[in-house]
Chain A
Amino acid sequence: MLSKRIIICLDVREGKTTKGIKFKENIDIGDPVAMAAEYYEQGVDELVFYDITASSDKRNIIIDVVESVAKEILIPFSVGGGIRSLDDMHRVLAAGAEKISINTAAVEDPDLIYKGARAFGNQCIVLGIDAKRVGETPATPSGYEVYIHGGRTPMGIDAIEWAKRGQDLGAGEICLNSIDADGTNAGYELTLTALVSEAVSIPVIASGGAGEPRHLYDVFKKSNADAALIASMVHYQRYTVAQIKEYLSQKDIPVRTFI
């Protein structure tokens, strides 16, 4: 049976892993390559690296990180952050990433999804969506609005409609992040995740809010999510990947336990 994937997210700033809360205030917590190697040993199914480096002259550092990770880690990983063109995508894929995640750039230029999917295959293009609960309005009938620029800029676009459009444009997967839940450790945004994962036929990764194994169980049980993104619950050694998978496995969620 297809396993539900546990994906660990590493935010990387100038070559160091950092962790922020609600998209603000970041602190450095370690070397992304060493952390990735540790999680690989623990049995993580996939990794995501988000480059949150602000200055463009330090952007090449992420390529070095990708190359080092790809040498050591023989599981899929994706890279997001600052990818704005086919050239950017090509550089990251050539360095050894399996997929690229685009978020702000896709909202500003939806054609980038189409062009990326044509050039590298649908499976390469992950559409990252940052969504916030705003209540039902004519522009956001689902009650969830798309934000860009790391959650700072509301776009007046409905999150569910955008997910469907992204799928039509050729995205192979959606990484759905709840701005409200992000960094709270209080659990995923179940309503949002259920709405999006029912609305599209491509895989959906739930993101934002995971603080304990029960939160992953809830999102797999109460939505059609295919994967769950986690960060701080493993970065601060509260849980290992094996502990999380053991918990899910005992509750009959299919996960890859034989590493």
Chain B
Amino acid sequence: MIAIIDYEAGNLTSVARALRHIGVACQITKQHDEIRASERVIFPGVGAAGEAMEIIRREGLDGMIREIIAQGKPFLGICLGAQIILGESEEDGGIPCLGIIPGTAKRFQGTDIKIPHMGWNDISITRPHPLLEGVDTRAQFYFVHSYYPAPEKREDIIAMTDYGVSFASIIGHDNVIATQFHLEKSGRHGLQILKNFCGWNGRV
């Protein structure tokens, strides 16, 4: 069973729908015992980092997330989920986040690009990872975001994408991996990564 962590953010049902599409059982939950009992965990989300962190703390999910990650459970962040696993976000003048991977979620800058970064873009893989097996280098993925992950350590970057700047579009460390793009909205290549996650043992 896969637990999709419910912190009242936007696209929980679309992730569940994508999992159903590939025949994988999941539940959307904020119950600690259910998250603890699950085989693997998905941490999705769209919306604002501040509100998300508020709900995460209120529900005691911050400690919960640290606990299951320390246990080695495979953990997948998507979109906002890839930002709030970092140390902080630049949203609203600075929001302290979960600090699972050292780094900051930064806002896109510049007058020559449209914000949000919306649409299908390339990724260039900087480090091989079991989740990217069978994913063609020509595949594009669907992005919608105004902030991007900037991890402190180079070794935490798995793929980069260009949009005004070159930013980390997949980050990961041990059993944690997170994509800035929406796996659940990226057609068959997104589903391939989701499938790979469902069979991943958390080791790289």
Query: A interface vs B, CB < 8 Å?
Result: 1-5, 40, 45, 70-71, 74-76, 93-94, 96, 98, 120-124, 172-173, 201-203, 226-227, 256, 258-259
Contact = CB atoms under 8 A, between A and B. Distances in A.
B10 A120 contact: yes
Interface of chain A, helix or strand or loop or mixed?
loop
Interface of B: 10-11, 13-14, 17-18, 20-21, 46-48, 111, 114-122, 136, 138-140, 142, 144-146, 162-163, 182, 184-188, 190-191
Contact of A3 (B121, B145, B184, B185): B121
Given A74-B18, A75-B186, A256 B136 contact: no
Contacts of A76: 142, 144, 182, 185
A258 B138 contact: yes
A241 to B, nearest CB: 13
Given A2-B163, A227-B119, A258-B138, A74 B184 contact: yes
Contact of B114 (A75, A93, A202): A202
A76 B47 CA distance: 16
Contacts of A2: 117, 119-121, 163
A1 B13 contact: no
Given A1-B162, A74-B191, A94 B185 contact: no
Contacts of A98: 11, 14, 185
A45 B120 CA distance: 8
Contacts of B14: 70, 96, 98
A172 B116 contact: yes
A256 B140 contact: yes
Nearest to A173: B118
B191 A122 contact: no
Taking each of B14, B21, B46, B140, which has the highest tally of chain A beta carbons within 10 Å of its own beta carbon? B140
B87 to A, nearest CB: 23
A74 B17 CA distance: 9
A3 B47 contact: no
Nearest to A40: B187
A201 B115 CA distance: 6
B116 A202 contact: yes
A7 B139 CA distance: 19
Nearest to B14: A96
Given A75-B142, A76-B185, A123-B46, A226 B10 contact: no
A172 B185 contact: no
B120 A71 contact: no
Contact of B187 (A1, A74, A122, A202): A74
A259 B119 CA distance: 14
Nearest to B18: A74
A224 to B, nearest CB: 8
Q: Give me the 4 closest cross-chain CB pairs, A-B, nearest first.
A: A258-B138, A3-B120, A256-B120, A123-B144
Contact of B185 (A75, A120, A121): A75
28 contacts: A1-B122, A2-B121, A3-B119, A4-B119, A40-B187, A74-B18, A74-B21, A74-B186, A74-B187, A75-B185, A76-B144, A93-B10, A121-B10, A121-B47, A121-B48, A122-B146, A123-B46, A123-B116, A123-B118, A124-B10, A201-B111, A201-B115, A203-B119, A226-B114, A226-B118, A256-B120, A258-B136, A258-B139
A94 B21 CA distance: 17
Nearest to A70: B17
